[in-house]
C-alpha cells in the first residue's frame, strides 16, 4: 500500500490546482479525519474579477489550503481580508523568479535572435541586437472576441511601424486569427516567417508570428526586448525582475507589485489606451526595484516551512482541520 503523504503542494491557479486541492481536502485517512496538509504556492493573488476562471480557482484553493505561500505583500492583505489566519500565510517570494534567475545567463546561449533575423551573427562576435517588441496574447477574454482582439491589434499598429513585433502564438490564438480572418500589421519580410520560428532574415517592421517557443528561447527574447506587450500574469512578473518595460492588455492585474515597481502598466484593451501605455513605456528607463524576497530562494523557504510544519504536526498527533496551522 502506498505511503500516506504528509502534505500535498499545489501551484498557481489552473483547473488542476483547484481540483487537486479540493480532492485533498476531502481525503480522510482514518476515523479521526486525518488528511494531508494542503500547501498553495502563489496564494493570495487577486484580480477581483470573477469573470476570470483563474480568480475562482485562486479563491477556492486558498480557502481549503492549510499553508499559503504568497509572492507579494498584496497576497497577505487579500487573505487577511478574507478571514484567513495570518499564521498560515508566508511571504516566501516567487518560484517563477527562482527559475528565471537560475537560467537567465544560460538563455544567452539561445540562437533565437539569429534565427529571427534580429542579430546578424553570434553574440560572441559582438553583433548587436536590433530593437524589437515582444507580444503574447492567449486569454479567452482577449482573443475569443473579434472586436476586442481587433482593438488590441489596432493599438499595436503604431508600435509595429517602428519595431518588429515578435509574436509567439498560442494555439488558441492562432486558431482565432484564422477563424476571424485577421490581418496583422506586417512589414515587407514578415509574411515569410509566419508560423516558422526558424525563418531568418526578417528585418522589416510589422508583426512576426512564430510557433510557441521553449523557455530559454523565450527568456532570451524577453531579456533583450525594448518592450513587452502581454496578457500573461507570469510575464508581468518576469519583466519586473528583468527591468523590461511591460504593457498589460487587460483591465486588471492580480500582480499589483509589478505596477508599483514601475515596470508594468495595465492598459486595458482599447486602442487609444494601449497606444498611450506603449508610448509611456518606451520613454521609461529600464530597471526597477525588486519586490521583497524575489531573490531566487523562494523554493528553499517553502521547503524549510514544509519541513517545520510536518515535524510540528507529527509531534502534536492532532488531526488536521482546515487552517489549523501548525
How far does CA 204 lie from the centroid of its chain?
Answer: 29
Kindly report the average pLDDT of the chain as a whole number. 89
Number of domains in the chain: 2
Q: Are residues 143 and 166 in the same domain?
A: yes
Q: Are residues 240 and 309 in the same domain?
A: no
Q: Are residues 58 and 119 in the same domain?
A: no
Residue 246 lies in a domain: yes
Share of the chain above pLDDT 90, in %: 77
Q: Are residues 128 and 218 in the same domain?
A: yes
How confident is the model at residue 192, as a pLDDT? 41
Residue 24 lies in a domain: yes
How far does CA 171 lie from the centroid of its chain?
Answer: 17
Q: Is 138 marked active-site? A: yes
Residues 185 and 158 sit within 8 Å (Cβ to Cβ): no
Residue 87 lies in a domain: yes
- Paired with 133 in beta bridges are 165, 227
Note the pLDDT tens digit of each residue in 92-136: 999 999 999 999 999 999 999 999 999 865 555 567 899 999 999
Q: Are residues 57 and 182 in the same domain?
A: no
Residues 10-20 have a mean pLDDT of 97
Report the C-alpha gap between 226 and 239 in whole angstroms: 11
Residue 324 lies in a domain: no
Note the pLDDT tens digit of each residue in 126-135: 678 999 999 9
Q: What is the CATH number of the domain that holds 61?
A: 3.40.50.2000
Share of the chain above pLDDT 70, in %: 86
How confident is the model at residue 189, as a pLDDT? 40
Band (pLDDT 50/70/90 cuts) for residue 321 is low
Residue 238 lies in a domain: yes
Q: Are residues 81 and 176 in the same domain?
A: no
Half-sphere exposure of 101 (CA within 13 A, CB side): 17
Which residue among the candidates 63, 138, 170, 323 is catalytic per the annotation?
Answer: 138
The pTM for the full model equals: 0.88
Sign of the torsion angle spanned by Cα atoms 64, 68, 72, 78: positive
Residue 98 lies in a domain: no
Q: Tell whether the model's pLDDT for residue 297 goes beyond 70.
A: yes
Residue 323 lies in a domain: no
Report the C-alpha gap between 326 and 315 in whole angstroms: 10
How confident is the model at residue 178, as a pLDDT? 94
Q: Are residues 151 and 264 in the same domain?
A: yes
Sign of the torsion angle spanned by Cα atoms 29, 35, 41, 42: positive
Report the C-alpha gap between 230 and 238 in whole angstroms: 12
Q: Are residues 255 and 179 in the same domain?
A: yes
Structural domain of 77: 7-93+297-316
Q: Are residues 219 and 301 in the same domain?
A: no
Q: Are residues 279 and 301 in the same domain?
A: no
Amino acid at each position: 500500500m502506498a505511503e500516506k503523504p504528509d502534505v500535498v503542494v499545489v501551484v498557481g491557479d489552473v483547473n488542476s490546482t483547484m481540483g487537486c486541492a479540493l480532492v485533498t481536502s476531502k481525503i480522510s485517512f482514518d476515523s479521526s479525519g486525518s488528511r494531508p496538509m494542503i500547501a498553495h504556492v502563489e496564494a493570495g493573488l487577486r484580480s477581483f474579477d470573477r469573470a476570470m476562471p483563474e480568480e475562482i480557482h485562486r479563491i477556492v484553493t486558498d480557502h481549503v489550503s492549510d499553508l499559503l505561500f504568497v509572492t507579494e505583500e498584496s497576497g497577505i492583505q487579500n487573505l487577511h481580508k478574507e478571514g484567513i489566519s495570518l499564521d498560515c500565510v508566508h511571504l516566501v517570494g516567487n518560484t517563477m523568479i527562482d527559475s528565471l534567475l537560475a537560467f537567465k545567463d544560460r538563455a544567452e546561449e539561445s540562437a533565437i535572435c539569429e534565427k529571427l533575423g534580429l542579430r546578424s551573427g553570434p553574440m560572441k562576435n559582438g553583433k548587436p541586437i536590433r530593437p524589437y517588441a515582444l507580444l503574447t496574447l492567449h486569454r479567452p477574454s482577449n482573443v475569443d472576441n473579434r472586436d476586442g482582439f481587433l482593438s488590441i491589434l489596432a493599438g499595436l499598429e503604431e508600435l509595429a511601424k517602428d519595431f518588429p513585433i515578435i509574436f509567439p502564438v498560442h494555439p488558441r490564438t492562432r486558431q482565432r486569427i484564422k477563424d476571424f480572418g485577421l490581418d496583422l500589421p506586417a512589414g515587407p519580410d514578415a509574411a515569410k516567417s509566419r508560423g516558422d520560428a526558424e525563418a531568418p532574415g526578417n528585418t522589416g517592421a510589422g508583426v512576426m508570428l512564430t510557433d510557441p517557443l521553449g523557455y530559454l528561447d523565450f527568456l532570451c527574447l524577453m531579456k533583450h526586448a525594448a518592450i513587452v506587450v502581454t496578457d500573461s500574469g507570469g510575464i508581468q512578473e518576469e519583466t519586473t525582475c528583468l527591468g523590461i518595460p511591460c504593457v498589460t492588455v487587460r483591465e486588471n492585474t492580480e500582480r499589483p507589485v509589478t505596477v508599483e515597481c514601475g515596470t508594468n502598466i495595465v492598459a486595458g484593451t482599447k486602442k487609444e489606451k494601449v497606444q498611450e501605455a506603449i508610448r509611456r513605456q518606451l520613454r521609461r528607463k529600464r530597471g526597477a526595484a525588486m519586490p521583497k524576497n524575489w531573490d531566487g530562494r523562494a523554493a528553499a523557504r517553502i521547503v524549510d516551512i514544509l519541513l517545520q510544519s510536518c515535524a510540528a504536526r507529527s509531534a502534536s498527533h492532532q488531526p488536521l482541520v482546515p487552517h489549523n496551522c501548525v
